[in-house]
Amino acid sequence: MRSTDRILTDQNGNSPPQGASEPEKPEEEPKAVTFSWGIVMVRTKKLLSFLDDLAKYRIFSDLGWVYIAIMIGAGAFMVWLMLDETYLVLNSSLALRCLIGAAPVAQCHASNLPTQPQPSLTSYLLLPGINPYIPVAYGIIGIVVAVVVHEGTHGVIARRLKLPVKSTGLLFFLFVPIGAFVEIDEKLIQKIRARDSSRIMAGGPGSNVIVGVIALILLVLLLGGLVPRYNGVLVAQVYSPSPANALHNQGHLQAGDFIEAVNGTQVNSDQILTSFMSNTRPNETLLLTIDHQGQLNTYNVTLATNPNNKTIGFIGVSVANENLSAIKNNYANAYRTNPFLYLIVPGIVSQAETVVPFSGTLHAYYTSPILGDTWYPVALTIFWIFFINVNLAFFNAIPLYPLDGGQAILNWFSHFGKKWVEVRAKLLTTICSITMLVLILTFLFLPRILALIPY
């Protein structure tokens, strides 16, 4: 018997047969419900048959290649974005640093430069109720859809590739559902072919992007079918002092209202209003028909002198370049001309109030021939499903362990030639993860540090 062998005896003091080893203890079955730091995990095996049913369709294994391309592209974009942002902050002028909150406020004020405070760190978290910009109800729906799709795709592709799934389950923050999970043996994933393990890891981010694109298409179709409740030009700003400001102080006019007519003449575009005003004179009295929060009223307004042309009259408002129909059409067709318009989030970016049909200001001026006024909560639900799915996908694609991108890097290193043993794979993954973590922390905290250092 080797010196390293342990001597075992049974209950009667007898030694086992030579060559026998201590039997392995069976792996303990995880508890059905666990609670840690406010997170409740509810495990079940009842959904495993559902994963098996979906795994019968070949499309899930074929889509795995698309998912890999999506995850590589999303991960590369996130790394570029953080590097580019860091470079921009370090090489920007004082004016730009003040505008993004990366310079001392006192120095900005001394130079008469506008300042913008840094967003709170909680605004980077996709957690409704913690992130101040994500509506709680719509945020919960978006999170649940995103995580169920993410984890479910992991499980379906794993079952398609004949890998066992231990269990599925739901995640709750206290009593609020925040997602789902699928438990797959990571050691088994590392032992299978790299192309198979990569498809499993990429399934989460890839499926989130696809769901996000589908949600965006539905949103565009919904908004494209909206019908304006009113005609007129949208008031973007009320100047002070001005005749319009007097109406504003009386509660009759504000940004987001519509000028429907001037002296009884319908104005359906800013060009018509500009043309009309070019024929007016200072101190002339006009009748303005204004739609204020759904109420249509007419007011007498004595024109002031236009500061840019002292021969014509001045109301004191700036108007949006498009009317209601143009605004919703521009948004619905932005995928052709300006897809970044879909990243303007109502409630966060002030510009949304004049360009996003489902913003807090504009939504009241539209209706749907099919859904009626319920189009608005439907649009918000679809938007947040789109927004959260895409953000979750791009974040998980970062090559940082234990995110999907980091796990894919570990699996790839583990299969990179016969000489790359498990220890080296873990070392390389650790180096990559630390690099990404430093990059993320730099992205988050560099502007805050520079705000304390004179430029």
pLDDT of 137-151, one tens digit each?
899 899 889 988 888
DSSP string, 288-327: EEEEETTEEEEEEEE-EEETTEEEEEE--EEE-SS-HHHH
Residue with tokens 């086992």, as numbered in its chain? 16
Q: Is the pLDDT of residue 327 over 80?
A: yes
Among candidate residues 178, 203, 233, the one with its CA nearest the CA of residue 42: 178
| CA 390 remoteness from chain centre | 6
CA dist., res. 391 & res. 371, Å (int): 28
- Domains along the chain with CATH numbers: 49-222+390-450 (no CATH), 233-324 (2.30.42.10)
Q: Is the pLDDT of residue 1 over 70?
A: no
* Of 54-68, 174-188, 403-417, the least confident: 174-188
Average pLDDT of the residues of the chain: 82
Residue type, 17: P
Q: Is the pLDDT of residue 357 over 50?
A: yes
Residue with tokens 């997602």, as numbered in its chain? 179
pLDDT band at 222 (very low <50, low <70, confident <90, very high): very high
The pTM assigned to this predicted structure is 0.72
Q: State mean pLDDT over 155-176.
A: 77
Q: Which residues make Cβ contacts (< 8 Å) with residue 202, sequence separation at least 6?
A: 64, 67, 68, 70, 71, 404, 408
pLDDT of 118-132, one tens digit each?
888 888 887 787 888
Q: Is the pLDDT of residue 3 over 50?
A: no
- CA angle at residue 87 from 83 to 92, to 5 degrees? 150
Q: Is the pLDDT of residue 6 over 50?
A: no
Percent pLDDT > 70 in the chain is: 84
Q: Is the pLDDT of residue 366 over 90?
A: no
How far are the Cα atoms of 120, 128, 199, 350, 448 from residue 99, in angstroms, in the given order? 16, 27, 42, 15, 13
Helix, strand, coil % over all residues of the chain, rounded to 5? 50, 15, 35
pLDDT of residue 15: 45
Count of C-beta atoms within a 10 Å radius of residue 262: 20
pLDDT of 297-317, one tens digit each?
899 989 989 888 888 989 988
